Chains A and B, each alone.
Chain A
Amino acid sequence: MLNIRNRGMRMDELLRMEGITKVYPNGIVANKNVDFSVKAGEIHGLVGENGAGKSTLMKILFGLNKAEKGRILLEGKEIRIDSPYAAIGHGIGMVHQHFMLVPSLTAAENLVMGLEPRKGIYLDIAAAIRTTEELGRKYGLVVDPRAAVRDLPVGIKQRLEILKALFRGARILILDEPTAVLTPQETEELFVQLKLLRQAGNTIVFISHKLNEIKELCDRVTIMRSGAVQGTFAVSKVDEKDISRLMVGRDVILEVQKTAARPMGTVLKVNDLVVLDRFGKRAVNGASFSVRKGEILGIAGVEGNGQRELVEAITGLGTFASGDLEVNGRSVAGMSIRKIRDAGVCHVPEDRMTDGCAATLGVEANLMSYNHDSVQFTGPVFLKGKAIRANSDRLIAEYNVKCSSPEQEVGMLSGGNIQKVVVAREFSSAPSLIVADQPTRGIDVGATEFIRARLVELRDEGAAVLLVSADLNEVMELSDSLIVMYGGKIGAYVPDAKSVGEEELGLFMLGLKKQSPEEIARVVHD
């Protein structure tokens, strides 16, 4: 690992963050003693997985979050940034993932908001429009100043956000995953504009987890993993593999120990399922597959290809438009979550803080949420406190949850321990189908290994496991067989997960390669 701390101040260094540590109110340590420095006039990539702490670090720089420890130096002088206002005062601007624009106002009005040119007591609209045009010409970021923001395409909104930052005097621009919302063409355009800005002497911090973009655009790159910096490199000196290794830390993840699967009867059968998203678009567009007892079926895919909607339909959290779902031969279509759970389905949700736990309640209250009204835990009126405590003690020990007592608030635990509470509850319900959605996202290595091993154990005990993960390593290591989702459909079925390489899987995930319908249909077992 490259250590950049305690190195002498370099001449061309514009900004330096030193020893930044940030703990969120729920106790999650988002940044651990992070050092980060940017040279004047460079595009600096900041990469890491979801939850690696990139956005947190940048929010601290922009004054949206406050660090517990550490300092920020601008041109060698320590500065205090306790609000975005202060950040802007120091010439730091940020373009957020979610645009901070007023949809009903025009581009020009949005641009000048807060710094409006005035004529008497009135807003000088003509001046605002002139400013927008001039600024757009100057930086090659042309926006129609009279258009209402809600009518602008996403790429132009982003352009307007960049202009906004420049208008406020930003010399250092932070872009938080700017390409996530763009089409490939818009992305290309953006890159041209960013390179022009660099030529004009601006400094850019570019947050992304797409490595090809980093390679194309950036001069240097800083890699973060679970809250800590893994190193800073000149982009020309490293290749994508090095970056990805540091980013996902493949070298530290041990291979999952497991024997070959011995699949038995079908547990989950998904038949021609169609799920609509909030906008009425077909997020899942006719998916058919089955998961058998004693196997782990992994779903690989770039996020946003229908995995979330599929999981929500199976677990009852969401509805679906057409098709059928069967668990152990019985249709569970349209059933309440309760009934689906009673049919033997358990669910490790993608977002543990939103769906998977009540952060302000204790570990015990979180462990009993599904079966608190079983005869084991409740009499006719009162809960059986002793039985419940015995059960929580057992689960806490079995799943090695580090907590001060069963009554400690779950929100106070570390991410890994919270996830252990979630899986302890879900796995202990004697499930015949386990739907595990991103079961190890953003948690420490120890907890990750533990949860993976437990999934394999449960498989061997006869559970069917449906694994959804954005972590390619995880899907490939843990699954017995694989399907790839692309555009709401199943693009490929790999009966033996070991037989496919990362590259080929990537082609399937990007929709560049597709299997024939016959090959895909093999995933439907009877």
Chain B
Amino acid sequence: MTRNQRLFEVVRTGLAILIALLIALVIVLTVSEDPADALYKFLLGPLDSFRHFGNVIELMIPLVFTGVAISIMFSAAQFNLGAEGGFFIGAIATAFVAIKFNLPPVIHPVVAILFGSLVGSLFCGLPAALKVRWGASELVSSLMFNYIAFFFGLFLINYLLRDVNAGAMVSYTFKPTALLPRLVPKTRISYGLIVAVLLVVAAAAFMTKTRWGYRIRLTGANARFAQYSGINTNSVVVYSQVIGGFVAGMGGSIELLGMYTRFSWQSLPGYGWDGVIVAILARNNPLYVPVAAFFLAYLRIGADIMSRYSDVPNEFVTLIQGTIIILIAASSFLAKYRHRLVFKEALESDAKGARR
């Protein structure tokens, strides 16, 4: 990408966000009795207290994991949506280790998280294997597998880990040795934040500085060219999704051990879907994932605060999200300007290139 084009993408994203916020403004103005207050809560609520800002960071952590997971898979042009199921089933696996094993502190969460990550990678590797072996679309199979992960996971909780005395369908409490300690007091921000930061750096280095990441990018950009260059694209298809699943599973594990003391999810938590939004905003670049995750988390917490203290419901944030995604995913949004840019550069280089 030339600098002009990169700048163009930034402007495009910014404009999409701006338009979405304007639409939000219009909606709030029409539905609210006190629009100024509602808007204030929405836009600045997350900053009004330490606790609220903490909420943003807490929500950002799982989004970073699923965002990175999806970015890696999408970079290889593998549209695996199994991050949702990988996140969930990874958390179940972690809950199992956290409940059933007796291990010393530090070692206990590490083992639990690694086990959760492995289960996640296995889970996301399944659609990949089906694709390589039988040409099944990973998009369809991963989507279906998410439900298998969900119901199989609940089955495991119900028959293996359920605390019958708890009154709801939740697991036994985790062993205290397994819990991730708080990083920032008075919030629920755990040491997961540090893992998330390390992950972003590692993923960015993996994608741009190693031969495996290079092969993923090459395969994603043009699989035929990768094959022609002698790269085994089948192996790329598999390992990109296995790695994506590993990261998603790790996200689920860390979310569970950092935020909860029992497994209590009764539905898919949705972080995998949000990861798709984050990856699209970040253009599949791991380095941009924290920014995108922060942005999305901020929107969500802002909307949440607004719904609690004003008369505008929480759901309206999905409108903003939807608008942003449509505008960014729609490649023809502002395409005219992009094309004008291409046109100018092409004529210039043509004038330089041709000796006529």
Cross-chain contact B353 with A417 (CB below 8 angstroms): yes
A445 to B5, CA, bound (A): 29
Cross-chain contact B214 with A365 (CB below 8 angstroms): yes
Measured between beta carbons, the chain A residues less than 8 angstroms from B211 are 372-373, 378, 383
B218's partner among A25, A26, A369, A412 (CB-CB below 8 A) is A369
Cross-chain contact A446 with B229 (CB below 8 angstroms): no
Segment at the A interface, from B139-147, B238-246, B341-349: B341-349
Also in contact, A356 and B221, with CB within 8 A (given A383-B211, A445-B355): no
Main secondary structure of the interface of B (DSSP, over half): helix
Instruction: Give the Cβ gap from B71 to chain A, nearest Cβ, in Å.
Output: 16
A446 to B355, CA, bound (A): 6
A479 to B228, CA, bound (A): 25
Asked if B158 lies at the interface with its beta carbon under 8 angstroms from chain A, I say no
Cross-chain contact A361 with B209 (CB below 8 angstroms): no
Cross-chain contact B347 with A412 (CB below 8 angstroms): no
A369 to B349, CA, bound (A): 25
Chain A residue, CB-CB nearest to B342:
A27
A369's partner among B229, B232, B343, B354 (CB-CB below 8 A) is B229
Which A residues are within 8 Å of any B CB, using their own CB?
23, 25-29, 68, 315, 317, 336-338, 341-342, 347, 349, 354-362, 365, 368-370, 372-373, 378, 381-383, 385, 402, 404-405, 407-409, 412-414, 416-417, 444-447
A358's partner among B218, B232, B352, B353 (CB-CB below 8 A) is B218
Cross-chain contact A23 with B346 (CB below 8 angstroms): yes
Cross-chain contact A317 with B221 (CB below 8 angstroms): no
A402 to B221, CA, bound (A): 22
In addition to A23-B339, A354-B222, A412-B342, 14 A-B residue pairs with Cβ atoms within 8 Å of each other are A23-B342, A27-B345, A337-B230, A354-B225, A359-B222, A361-B217, A365-B214, A372-B214, A382-B210, A383-B214, A385-B209, A412-B2, A416-B354, A446-B353
A27 to B2, CA, bound (A): 13
Cross-chain contact A28 with B1 (CB below 8 angstroms): no
Cross-chain contact A337 with B227 (CB below 8 angstroms): yes
Also in contact, A370 and B209, with CB within 8 A (given A27-B349, A407-B1): no
A6 to B343, CA, bound (A): 25
Instruction: Give the Cβ gap from A418 to chain B, nearest Cβ, in Å.
Output: 11
A329 to B343, CA, bound (A): 50
Measured between beta carbons, the chain A residues less than 8 angstroms from B221 are 358-361
Cross-chain contact A23 with B343 (CB below 8 angstroms): yes
A355 to B349, CA, bound (A): 23
Also in contact, A404 and B342, with CB within 8 A (given A358-B221, A370-B229, A372-B214): no
Asked if B356 lies at the interface with its beta carbon under 8 angstroms from chain A, I say yes
Cross-chain contact B230 with A414 (CB below 8 angstroms): no
Also in contact, A412 and B346, with CB within 8 A (given A358-B218, A359-B222): yes
A417's partner among B1, B5, B349, B355 (CB-CB below 8 A) is B349
Going nearest first, the 10 A-B pairs with the smallest beta carbon separation are: A338-B230, A358-B221, A369-B229, A27-B346, A358-B222, A446-B355, A23-B343, A355-B228, A414-B353, A337-B230
A-contact 0/1 string along B211-236, CB 8 Å cutoff: 10011011001101111111110000
Chain B residue, CB-CB nearest to A449:
B355
Also in contact, A356 and B209, with CB within 8 A (given A25-B339, A336-B230): no
Asked if B48 lies at the interface with its beta carbon under 8 angstroms from chain A, I say no
Measured between beta carbons, the chain A residues less than 8 angstroms from B225 are 354-358, 369
Measured between beta carbons, the chain A residues less than 8 angstroms from B210 are 378, 381-383
A346 to B350, CA, bound (A): 28
A446 to B352, CA, bound (A): 11
Measured between beta carbons, the chain A residues less than 8 angstroms from B226 are 358, 369
